[in-house]
Amino acid sequence: MRHRGNLRGSLATWKVIAGTGLLAGGLALFAATPSAKADDCQERLAHADHKLHEAIEHHGYESKQATHWRHELREAREYCWQHGHRWWDADGNRWHTDRDWDDRDHDHR
């Protein structure tokens, strides 16, 4: 009988340890989410900005390729604004906290 009591206590201890581990893992996952979104935004914006530069250089400012990447850049800025109220300016190498990309000359004329 004594052995069975220790088994129950041991099982309860393991349940507490496992539950604590799952809780800690879940908190770590949620804590990392804003950083992941910021990184995703920065990468999206840098990619679209780079592709826009390339399209202008290879096909011209008024080309369909440049128009496409201008649209993609605007979409990426909107996504970042909606998810973090900021957007990455690849040319200025900084975050903007105002929705002011329409007010600036970011189309690389």
pLDDT at residue 104, as a whole number:
56
Q: How far apart are CA 32 and CA 72, in angstroms?
A: 26
Return the pLDDT at 33.
Answer: 46
- Locate the domains of the chain by residue range: 2-103
**pLDDT for res 91:** 87
Task: Judge contact between 72 and 51, C-beta under 8 A.
Answer: yes
Q: On the CB side of 71, how many CA atoms lie within 13 Å of its CA? A: 7
**pLDDT tens sequence for the chain (109 residues):** 555 556 666 777 777 777 666 666 665 544 444 555 667 889 999 999 999 999 999 999 999 999 999 999 999 999 999 988 998 888 889 999 988 887 654 454 4
To the nearest 10 degrees (0 to 180), the angle between helices 2-59 and 64-84 is 150
Q: Which pLDDT score is estimated for 31?
A: 46
